Amino acid sequence: MKKIVKICLISFVLVVVFGCVFCGSLVAVSYAKYQSIPLNTESLTSPSLSIEIFDNKNRPIKEENQFNGDFCKLEILHQYTKDAFISIEDKEFYNHKGLNKKRIVKAMINNIKSRKLKEGASTISQQLIKNTHLSNEKTFERKLKEMALTKKLENNFSKDEILESYLNIIFFGNNCYGLESASKYYFNKDAKDLNLNESCTLAGLIKSPTKYSPILNYDNCLQRRNLVLSEMEKDGKITVDEKLSTQNQPITLDITQKNENKLNSYSQASIDEASKILKIPAKQIALAGYKIHTYCNSEKQTALKNALSNNETDGSDNAGIIIDASTHGVSAFHGNSNFKILDVKRQPASCLKPLLVYAPALNEDVISPSTQILDEPIKIGNYSPSNVNKKFSGYMSVTDAVKNSINIPAIKVLSYIGIDTGKQYAQKLGINFDEKDDSYALALGGMTYGVNIKDLATAYTTFANKGQFSNSTFIQYITDKNNKLVYIHKPTAQMVFREDSAYLMTDILQETAKSGTARKLSTITNTEIASKTGTVGKKNASGNTDAYNISYTPTETIGVWFGSLSNEPAKIAGGNQPTEVVRQYVSSQTYDKKQFDVPSSVAEVKIDSLEKEENHRLVLASPYAPARFIETCLFSRFNMPTEISENFTEKPQISAETKVENNQIILSLNAQKHLEYQIYKDDIPYQKVEDKQGQLTLRLSFPEKETTIKIIANYIGENDKSLQAEKKFNLTKTTQTQTQPKQKWYI
């Protein structure tokens, strides 16, 4: 037995050794092969580059596409600025020859434990190569290329030259490439004037510009800055007092100039998208000579910019996007902000209701546009929602609830279909949720992180596209410097809603544009339009933080956002500035297709409006129902009422009494407003009563000794005699003879 165990152990060791030798040989051969890759010195030293971007007619887009133009020399920087980056990114920078072997071994062990390539152990030299020569893919092949090129870098450039290039190409978020650009953007000063606090903030930012953004994630940024200070103190670059003093300081930004051309232009959005598609930084796109061909419609772009400019509001930023329904391409995009708006997620407010609540409920055959829902105070656990006006309106239709953006019905409908079902639909539309997003506040747009304006508008394109969802994109195709095609957009559609469900949602949202919260759009005559507004407010604040209008025509979707990224209340609301931008833009356009297609799976059905009003039920109208009590409603053929109303199927009932008093007939009639009463006296028409509800008292003169009162009741508008009701009263006047005293015959 011992001999067998011994043989097994020896065999295992031999297999491991052989495997290590084989893998090592493979790595060595690959590494040797990648050493032949040339080093692009231009990418390391070029301070300014641009990218060619074209619109949908292959015309150059005349926006500022240049980046990384601000170059700073290493010698003008404070020593603590340089030390901040070295301490947090590569402590052994001046000692190693491009690769830190200890960090590589440690990273390999951690990667093996996690079974993922989570850690890269990159030195500053390696990061410089990665950002100028390679993609962002985490593969062993890319890592070997990186190591080979890093060796060449170290052999051709000094440490100071490498550090200088690194500081001038590294990405700091918000379109800031290089330290000089970041310094001017975040602190409104030259890089040579950065203090210790600011230097450590920027050094901490580059690991993840979004996660450690001082704008979006201040607390994360503060913790990261303090870590940089601690590492500098450990390395002997600053004293303990300097560390403690700086750690107690806030991070004070000075973002004073809006630069929408660079941050929120169509060009910049296209560059960002191309960087994700090609998996390389923007600088590499420029160096490689890639050309970006977009869906940009220059005329629509101008119209959108003008509409946004006409409605600018102090204290708020704004952005607008136009998405073509057929190509799913972004026809226009523009924003005005100090921050990159497409990188920001905001609470979508009531704009989430159709995506998460109403369209899913239509598709699940839980509601129809006319379904009656009771708007009343409710409490779910500790959650006590209310409407914006703090009032409750009783029963209302789904259409009225949506068009007036009433909260309680939305929460009730979400409870009918279930939170998980609502989220599953919204996720298919590109809306992502945090694991904490599991309460009924979702019905009102209460998300942990929210959604950006592009994703929100893209979700609404599904309704115009008959329930089919596809991601929107800025880019049609990309070519290299030799005009060879390297990427082409091929949209793929997924059916999320049935065609009838999508149309019924559209019909509801058309009412919102006609007479609801988006009624500013009611003046639009050049196309049909559906719309939803949304507003995010703060309690006890004289203003709101976010305002939306998401609208769509048969051919395009328009999304507009106004908001305060600092969350300071501004005088904005979804039905005001955003809706006015949509109105101005749509009114300026010419549309070939002006009407939404009505699918064959949608039917017009006549329902009994009396039953709907009195009992809040949707039932088919009787064939004998008067026209005034018939309402034509839209239904999915998969969710139509089958029950026929019991109203107007038999003779009306007459509730009346009479009595005689003081030579008058007093007629008491319990009237019903759906009945018409003709009152006859001795077969002569006396009076008609209609459209009355409740107890009525009529007085008729009675000079005769006897008479007949006849009441005939008809359903209003109904001429069928068989459905008439008749009631008669035969009345006799009782005469009392009084004995008169005899007059004397004598005087």
Residue 29: what pLDDT?
45
Structural domain ending residue among the three candidates 557, 587, 617: 587
Where is mean pLDDT largest: 88-97, 439-448, 711-720?
439-448
3-state secondary structure of 408: helix
Q: Nearest 5°: phi and psi at 252?
A: -105, 110
Task: Verify that 204 and 239 share a domain, yes or no.
Answer: yes
678 occurs within a structural domain:
yes
- Write the DSSP string, 703-732: -SSEEEEEEEEEETT---GGG-EEEEEEEE
pLDDT for the residue numbered 394: 94
Q: Does residue 260 register a pLDDT over 50?
A: no
Dihedral over alpha carbons 645, 651, 655, 659 (to 10 degrees): 170
DSSP string, 447-490: -SS-B-HHHHHHHHHHHHTTTEE---BSEEEEE-TT--EEEE--
In a domain, 57, yes or no: no
Same domain, 366 and 381: yes
Q: Rounded to the nearest 10 degrees, what angle do helices 196-205 and 240-247 cross at?
A: 80
Query: Rounded to a whole number, what is the largest CA-CA distance in the chain?
Result: 167
Give me the pLDDT at residue 28, please. 46
Q: Write the DSSP assignment of 169-187 as a string of letters.
A: H-B-STT-BSHHHHHHHHH
Neighbouring CB atoms inside 10 A of 112's CB total 9
Please indicate, yes or no, if residue 364 is contained in any of the structural domains.
yes
Exposure class string for 501-520: b at 16+ Cβ within 10 A, else e? bbbbbbbbbbbbbbebbbbb
pLDDT of residue 742: 53
Q: What pLDDT, on a 0 to 100 scale, did the predictor assign at position 594?
A: 96
Q: Are residues 505 and 630 in the same domain?
A: no
270 inside domain: no
Residue 649's pLDDT is what?
A: 76
Are the C-beta atoms of residues 318 and 572 closer than 8 Å to each other? no
519 or 257, which is more confident: 519
pTM of the model: 0.75
d(CA 54, CA 517): 38
Both 518 and 571 in one domain: the answer is yes
Structure confidence at residue 743 (pLDDT):
56
Mean pLDDT of 667-683: 90
Indicate whether 167 pLDDT > 80.
yes
Lowest mean pLDDT among 96-110, 319-333, 631-645: 96-110
Distance CA 570, CA 337 (A): 15
Q: What is the mean pLDDT of residues 415-432?
A: 96
Instruction: Burial-class residue 21 by CB neighbours within 10 Å (0-12, 13-18, 19+).
Output: exposed
Distance CA 396, CA 371 (A): 8
Is the pLDDT assigned to residue 744 strictly greater than 60? no
What confidence score (pLDDT) does residue 107 get?
Answer: 55
Q: Are 437 and 550 members of one domain?
A: yes
From 552, 587, 622, give the residue that closes a domain: 587
- As a residue count, the chain comes to 747
Q: Domain check: are 465 and 549 in the same one? A: yes
Report the pLDDT value the prediction gives residue 451, as an integer from 0 to 100. 97
Model pLDDT, residue 5 = 59
Cross-strand bridge partners of residue 323: 330, 557
Confidence of residue 51 (pLDDT cuts 50, 70, 90): confident
Least confident of 287-301, 317-331, 720-734: 720-734
How far the first Cα of the chain sits from its last, in Å, is 164
The predicted structure's pLDDT at residue 420: 96
- What per-residue confidence (pLDDT) applies to 156? 86
pLDDT band at 360 (very low <50, low <70, confident <90, very high): very high
Give bridge partners of residue 549 from the DSSP assignment.
533, 560
Residue 715 has pLDDT above 90, yes or no: no
- Is residue 17 located within the same domain as residue 164? no
Mean of pLDDT over the chain: 87
State whether 404 and 507 are in the same domain: yes
Short-list 602, 556, 358, CA closest to 464? 556
Q: Tokens 């009237």 sit at which residue?
A: 671
Query: Residue 30: which pLDDT band, with cuts at 50, 70 and 90?
Result: very low
Dist CA 337 CA 330 (whole Å):
20
Confidence tier at 408 by pLDDT (50, 70, 90) = very high
pLDDT of residue 470 exceeding 90:
yes
What six digits make up the tokens of 78? 């404070």
Please, what sign has the CA dihedral across residues 579, 583, 584, 586?
positive
Cα 101 from Cα 107, distance rounded (Å): 10
Do 181 and 167 belong to one domain?
Answer: yes
Residue 286 lies in a domain: no
Q: How many domains does the chain have?
A: 5
For 364-401, what is each residue's pLDDT tens digit?
999 999 999 999 999 888 888 888 888 899 999 999 99
The CA dihedral of 680, 681, 686, 692, to the nearest 10 degrees, is -50
Three-class HEC string of 296-364: CCHHHHHHHHHHHHHCCCCCCEEEEEEEECCCCEEEEEEEECCCCHHHCCECCHHHHHHHHHHHHHHHC
Question: Is the pLDDT at 640 greater than 80, yes or no?
Answer: yes
| 485/42: higher pLDDT | 485
Least confident piece of the model among 104-118, 207-221, 414-428: 104-118
Quote the Cα angle for 257-563-509, to 5°. Answer: 145
What is the mean pLDDT of the segment spanning 496-512?
Answer: 98
Q: Is the pLDDT of residue 63 over 70?
A: no
Q: Which range, 161-175, 262-276, 495-509, is most confident? A: 495-509
- Whole-Å CA distances, 520 to 86, 353, 533: 57, 20, 11
Phi, psi of 331 (to 5 degrees): -75, -30
Whichever domain contains 721, its CATH number is 2.60.40
Instruction: With a cut of 90, say whether residue 141 has pLDDT above it.
Output: no
| pLDDT over 50 (residue 738) | no
| pLDDT value at residue 677 | 92
pLDDT average, residue stretch 315-338: 94
CATH number, domain containing residue 114: 1.10.3810.10
For the stretch 703-719, what's the b/e string if a residue is b when 16 or more beta carbons lie within 10 angstroms of its beta carbon?
eeeebebbbbbbbbebe
Residue 541 in this model has a pLDDT that exceeds 80: no
Q: Is the pLDDT of residue 1 over 70?
A: no
Asked whether residue 672 is assigned to any structural domain, the reply reads yes
Residues 558 and 625 in one domain: no
Is 235 among the domain residues?
yes
Tens digits of per-residue pLDDT, 608-633? 999 999 999 999 998 878 788 899 99
Give the CATH number of the domain where residue 573 resides.
3.40.710.10
Measure the CA–CA gap between 609 and 393, rounded to whole angstroms. 19
pLDDT tens profile 646-660: 888 777 889 999 999
Structural element, H or E, at residue 679: strand 675-681
553: its two tokens: 């025509």
What number is the average pLDDT over the span 266-286? Answer: 90
Q: Is residue 455 predicted with pLDDT exceeding 70?
A: yes
Same domain (yes/no): 27, 118: no
pLDDT at 522: 97
Q: Which of 21-25, 260-264, 727-731 has the lowest mean pLDDT?
A: 21-25
Neighbours of 436 (CB within 10 A): 9
Show which of 257, 286, 318 is a domain's final residue.
Answer: 257
Examine residue 480 and state whether it is found in any structural domain, yes or no: no
The whole domain housing 721 covers 656-732
Same domain, 570 and 626: no
Q: How large a percentage of the chain has pLDDT more than 70? A: 86
Question: Would the pLDDT of 21 be above 50?
Answer: no
Residue 104 has pLDDT above 90, yes or no: no
